[in-house]
A and B are shown apart, each in its own frame.
Chain A
């Protein structure tokens, strides 16, 4: 069954059809939540909430990009999660190393296809980017995650966060400038992973 047929079936209440869509988009949704929230457990909760909300409101989907519609739903779930976090701040549960200390970067979900060096580099890069993303205000972070990590166009981002197009342009420009400043420090530590100059030549 193709995507429009699955969406149509899900709109008629077919849970199996909807679950096929969940399996297709769950990595995208989880990654978006993870980059906005910066925490695995919260991202998983927000993703689950997003899919539940998507199923309940799927009749409101009137065509266009289903991926963009789902990303809007997960953005809302992330904002809800942040509000909950503000009300009930909790100590994040990080996995522990052998000597009982918490690992800053979770490695237990690492891609087995990568070599140890690549894995390390990917971990460090991820850590650096997430660290810099976390320094941004939530509204800026959400815009940069949707536009630069998930590749939504400006109008889709504006639709997802419900602000005018001009505000999206402004937030994205500010976020990119701030990220550039933050990432410069890591670029010196991890020249192989960053190679910022390469992108400038494109």
Chain B
């Protein structure tokens, strides 16, 4: 009988599993025949393995199947969704583009109509224009007294100078509108189209998600 090393135990453990090379196996078998101590250890190892194999299997307490949510699977995107979303984004971009175009062109239009605006401002009695209008005033005052209603004439003259004001503003507005390359009706139309397409895309996605969830439940 020999003293066993841990190497011997390892060999015996592998031997009972049939995991030894044929040469090592043959050598060990020869030793087993002559060494009862070696045989006893091999029996112990076999016994331990045998008990473990007798362990009754347990049923799993529940099913471990995965739901789409657990698996992180997202619902498929409906075919129309990207088209609608792209169209909505395009309409929004066009709308922004119209604002940009109008913003660039309006100051140019204002610059072109500036002198006219100035003359109307003068009529209203402001600033430097009064100085230019002054020479006309003495002429009125130098009229003979017999001449009736000089003040009335002045008033007429005043009203004559004031009268173009509303017409001028209307003209200005018309000029500004005509100066806009993209009319505001077009912009309103684009806004409606962008909002409508965006809403439809969102609804299509919501309905599709609900259908998919109901199906995968």
Pick the contact of A15: B6, B57, B73 (CB < 8 A): B73
- B61 interface hit (Cβ, 8 Å): yes
Residues on A with C-beta less than 8 A from B72 are 56
Looking at A61-69, A86-94, A172-180, the stretch in contact with chain B turns out to be: A172-180
Determine if B47 and A31 form an interchain contact, defined as CB atoms under 8 angstroms apart: no
* Best-buried of B12, B43, B65 by chain A (most CB within 10 Å): B65
Residues of A1-50 at the interface with B, using a CB-CB cut-off of 8 Å, are 13, 15, 18-19, 22-23, 26-27, 29-31, 34-35, 40, 44, 47-48
Determine if B61 and A148 form an interchain contact, defined as CB atoms under 8 angstroms apart: no
**Chain B, interface SS category:** helix
Alpha-carbon distance between A172 and B51 when the two chains are bound, in angstroms? 15
1/0 contact string of B31-71 vs chain A (CB within 8 Å): 00000000000011111111111111111111111101011
1/0 contact string of B3-26 vs chain A (CB within 8 Å): 000100110111001010000000
Given contacts A122-B56, A126-B56, contact A148 B66 (CB under 8 A): no
Alpha-carbon distance between A148 and B54 when the two chains are bound, in angstroms? 10
Residues on B with C-beta less than 8 A from A109 are 58-59, 61
Residues of A116-153 at the interface with B, using a CB-CB cut-off of 8 Å, are 122, 125-126, 129, 144, 147-149, 153
- Identify the closest chain A residue to B8 (Cβ): A173
Determine if A27 and B57 form an interchain contact, defined as CB atoms under 8 angstroms apart: yes
Given contacts A34-B58, A169-B14, A199-B50, contact A23 B65 (CB under 8 A): yes
Given contacts A109-B58, A111-B56, A149-B53, contact A200 B46 (CB under 8 A): yes
1/0 contact string of A176-202 vs chain B (CB within 8 Å): 110110010000000001101111101
**Chain A, interface SS category:** helix
Residues on B with C-beta less than 8 A from A126 are 55-56, 58
Determine if A31 and B53 form an interchain contact, defined as CB atoms under 8 angstroms apart: no
User: Number of A interface residues, CB 8 Å?
Assistant: 51
Determine if B57 and A31 form an interchain contact, defined as CB atoms under 8 angstroms apart: yes
- Identify the closest chain A residue to B68 (Cβ): A15
Determine if A55 and B44 form an interchain contact, defined as CB atoms under 8 angstroms apart: no
Residues on B with C-beta less than 8 A from A177 are 9, 44-45, 48
Alpha-carbon distance between A35 and B72 when the two chains are bound, in angstroms? 29
Residues on A with C-beta less than 8 A from B63 are 22-23, 26
- A170 interface hit (Cβ, 8 Å): yes
Determine if B65 and A44 form an interchain contact, defined as CB atoms under 8 angstroms apart: no
> What are 7 residue pairs bridging A and B, where the CB atoms are less than 8 Å apart in the complex?
A31-B58, A31-B60, A55-B71, A148-B49, A173-B14, A176-B48, A180-B44
6 pairs of A and B residues whose beta carbons are closest in the complex: A199-B50, A173-B13, A30-B60, A200-B43, A196-B47, A180-B48
